[in-house]
Structure 1
């Protein structure tokens, strides 16, 4: 069509509006007619240009679909998102012989039921996603995790293929697996295959498979691992590879390495985190590949200054009573400020941890359920409703319940780093807020009660209680003077 901004004959978007625009003209920001903010224009009508958020609610955007007749914002060619997505997916999933196959219909239905708009965008923008659907239709790619893993060259990830995999798992078309662990094992294969020295390749493979991955499996006890565990393991394996390469540059091998070489590794090299090679050196000594060497554990005692009491309650009141934040950010922030929970524990909560009856709402963080006061209980119930509407059938957690903090990928929860970033964006330092909350709670209840309610270890409960006593004593001395 002819773009109404530049006048060129190009593939245009928003052809159902009065002024279709090409891709280049879409990126030019202009003041929105509704909100007044200078943003990217997605539609133009008689009233003026609209940004994407305002166009979602604009009455001009809602028109009847040519196929189903449903009145909503049309996607393209006069069709709603589902009809346009179904038309596009059916075209991609048509076998060469034209004969219908039930498994292909199930794939299309799963993608459309979850999010037709995202399915359309991925299949149109990602060549790998469109090629994947064509190969599934022709039989060149089997519907299995192994076949999807084989399409990833090396350690690269295609976000569209990852999203398709998660949708198919949630729909029950693929079996549930620990995706972080599977990704870590693929990364290990890529990392070891890139090593030129066969002795180093054998050492790193044995260390990664039989020490690091085995340790993760033991600690997980059959449950899905966290993203942070996979990230830490990747850092330790990468640092082991770097340590072996550094020994070669020094004219040494692992068997001839001495403690003076370790000291030189820790002090003279500009690389980041040399202490991360400590687990590899300890494993090499235990396995008789080296002797008489060790990398000490680096003193990593980080002390956070607790959040000021007035600042803490100010942020808590904003989260309890303000509507300017998302519900997930409000609940996560209140779990930090009121109950001293870490983002890592908060993001692993599911709807099965929420206990609701006619009288109260409780959250089972540990063995003893924690009764939630209003209005926090209403926020948690609202989060439960959002989680149930977000998830579908199969979830990758031990309780098979929807996550309280889900992502756009079905069956996947927010990572701890992402949740901590969201809290920092709303002005809440999670570690400082957690310190202030635990010190306050220790002045109100014994350490044993704190352990049963919040799930912290007995030793940690005793330390926090001792810290609260010291702070109370210092405050009393300051008042006397």
Structure 2
């Protein structure tokens, strides 16, 4: 057809609406009517084009549902999200005789009450999820964690996780440590992919009876962190790589000597050779190998502390600029002002926030840390946002909502995702944390720093020593 924007004869979209547009014109950036920023156009109205964010709140996007009359942003075919969900979710959950089992009716209610739009997109985009719902309705699948695990086609396929988290939050499925279960499932897939029976036996013993047992012991009955899963997966994966590398050099774990270990550490065929240290140490302890050792990884890269002026400039922006999301503002200020790591920030719950007649405090360690204004108001806003999430399973020892929740109930932001969000707003977390701790060590003794921020005694002493040198250098610079 003839494109209504560029007037060229091309394959076009939206021809039924009388406004055909080619792919190039659809992806062309245009100024939004409301915000004025050049963006991809998702809707055109008599007032002008709209970007995706502005269209979410535009009054033109709200129309009455053809079934229930509710005025909201319709999902498809003139139906609101709830009515469309009732049609497309309850139909596959209905048995061939036309009946819906009571437990499946609870499943449909939980999915639609939590987020009906996401449920519809979930069923549309995931073939695994659609097949799962169909099998539940036909009675070919039970509502258990084991049956849901069996429906996952691969270790990295998380299509069932959203479905599972909603059911757990609604009380239909029992609460379990999902990160630990994901690690054990990943280990099963990893072992099943090994062809050599001896390698399978070694990796099974190392993964299940050393790494997993170690993680359980250190967790002490509490849910494990996603960082612990990442470390264990990298160590197990590197163990598999090491055994494969030994075969290429006509050796086994029993015949391996230190010369081969040195060759492994200097080889360019793989990355991170020092990660195999845990596997080699376990093999020596378990008498699968002898006289082998891999040294500790070379000292980590030192991050240059953020410049003081730049640090306070970013802090003022986060304190006063409302265009940033509240979670990004609070997380960034915790890094800039108090030297907290994204891993620790992401595990904070509403129980860590103390609000009394003296103000707002944050329980990072033994002694509550009093928050100055306007940071205290931002933290209280974050608490209200966290508590407004319905159907939240806590999955933490405080039995309180996460301060940084995700769209999956009961799951907080991971360390990696929070670090990426801080990077997107222009905040290098490691450099900012170094600058904050050096500044704090000038103002208070290491023991106080330990009680307030939860820094270990050894780390507090090291930071204090660095702060003394930094303060001396700054004094010399001022004199000159």
Q: State the Cα deviation string for residues 282-316 of structure 1 (Å, max 9, x = none).
A: 10110011111111112223212111111111111
| Stretch moving more, 92-101 or 40-49 | 40-49
* Alignment map for 1:135-146 (pairs within 5 Å): 135-146=135-146
Matched position secondary structure for 1:362: strand
Displacement of 1:353: 0.6
* Alignment map for 1:447-462 (pairs within 5 Å): 447-462=446-461
Equivalent pair of 2:392/2:409 in contact (CA under 8 Å): no
Q: Give the aligned partner of residue 117 of structure 2.
A: 117
Alpha carbons of structure 1 residues 407 and 26: separation in structure 2 relative to 1, 3 Å: farther
Q: Give the aligned partner of residue 440 of structure 1.
A: 439
1:281 to 2:271 alignment: no
Q: Give the aligned partner of residue 214 of structure 1.
A: 213
Matched position secondary structure for 1:200: helix
Matched position secondary structure for 1:183: helix
Equivalent pair of 2:353/2:363 in contact (CA under 8 Å): yes
Displacement of 1:391: 4.3
CA distance in 2, matches of 1:201, 1:421: 36
Matched position secondary structure for 2:284: helix
Matched position secondary structure for 1:292: coil
Q: State the Cα deviation string for residues 10-53 of structure 1 (Å, max 9, x = none).
A: 9979x9xx669899799544634444555444333333443332
CA distance in 2, matches of 1:388, 1:113: 16
CA distance in 2, matches of 1:176, 1:246: 41
Alpha carbons of structure 1 residues 475 and 10: separation in structure 2 relative to 1, 3 Å: closer
1:300 to 2:304 alignment: no
Matched position secondary structure for 1:231: helix
Q: Give the aligned partner of residue 243 of structure 1.
A: 242
Displacement of 1:251: 1.4
CA distance in 2, matches of 1:456, 1:111: 41
Q: Give the aligned partner of residue 64 of structure 1.
A: 64
* Alignment map for 1:398-417 (pairs within 5 Å): 398-417=397-416
Q: Give the aligned partner of residue 107 of structure 1.
A: 107
| Stretch moving more, 56-65 or 270-279 | 56-65
CA distance in 2, matches of 1:36, 1:476: 48
Alpha carbons of structure 1 residues 76 and 219: separation in structure 2 relative to 1, 3 Å: same
CA distance in 2, matches of 1:307, 1:373: 22
Q: Give the aligned partner of residue 324 of structure 1.
A: 323
Q: State the Cα deviation string for residues 239-274 of structure 1 (Å, max 9, x = none).
A: 111111111111111111111111111113431011
Structure 2: give runs of 5+ residues left out of the alignment: none
* Alignment map for 1:134-213 (pairs within 5 Å): 134-159=134-159, 161-213=160-212
Matched position secondary structure for 1:379: helix
Alpha carbons of structure 1 residues 26 and 178: separation in structure 2 relative to 1, 3 Å: farther
Structure 1: give runs of 5+ residues left out of the alignment: none
| Stretch moving more, 52-61 or 394-403 | 52-61
Displacement of 1:379: 0.1
Q: State the Cα deviation string for residues 117-152 of structure 1 (Å, max 9, x = none).
A: 101111122222111111111111111111111011
Equivalent pair of 1:265/1:274 in contact (CA under 8 Å): yes
Q: State the Cα deviation string for residues 58-89 of structure 1 (Å, max 9, x = none).
A: 22222222333222222222221112212221
Alpha carbons of structure 1 residues 75 and 29: separation in structure 2 relative to 1, 3 Å: farther
Q: Give the aligned partner of residue 349 of structure 2.
A: 350
Alpha carbons of structure 1 residues 197 and 469: separation in structure 2 relative to 1, 3 Å: same
Q: State the Cα deviation string for residues 168-225 of structure 1 (Å, max 9, x = none).
A: 1111111111111111111111111111111111001000111111111111111111
Equivalent pair of 1:76/1:84 in contact (CA under 8 Å): yes
Q: Give the aligned partner of residue 77 of structure 1.
A: 77
CA distance in 2, matches of 1:10, 1:421: 37
Displacement of 1:7: 12
| Stretch moving more, 47-56 or 216-225 | 47-56
TM-score (norm 2): 0.93
CA distance in 1, matches of 2:169, 2:238: 36
CA distance in 2, matches of 1:72, 1:385: 24
Q: State the Cα deviation string for residues 372-431 of structure 1 (Å, max 9, x = none).
A: 110000000000111111242422222221111111111111111111111111111111
Q: State the Cα deviation string for residues 336-364 of structure 1 (Å, max 9, x = none).
A: 11111010100000111111123311111
Alpha carbons of structure 1 residues 28 and 403: separation in structure 2 relative to 1, 3 Å: same
Q: Give the aligned partner of residue 46 of structure 2.
A: 46
| Stretch moving more, 180-189 or 68-77 | 68-77
TM-score (norm 1): 0.93
Alpha carbons of structure 1 residues 448 and 312: separation in structure 2 relative to 1, 3 Å: same
Equivalent pair of 1:275/1:295 in contact (CA under 8 Å): yes
Q: How many residues align?
A: 475
Q: Give the aligned partner of residue 97 of structure 2.
A: 97
CA distance in 1, matches of 2:276, 2:26: 47
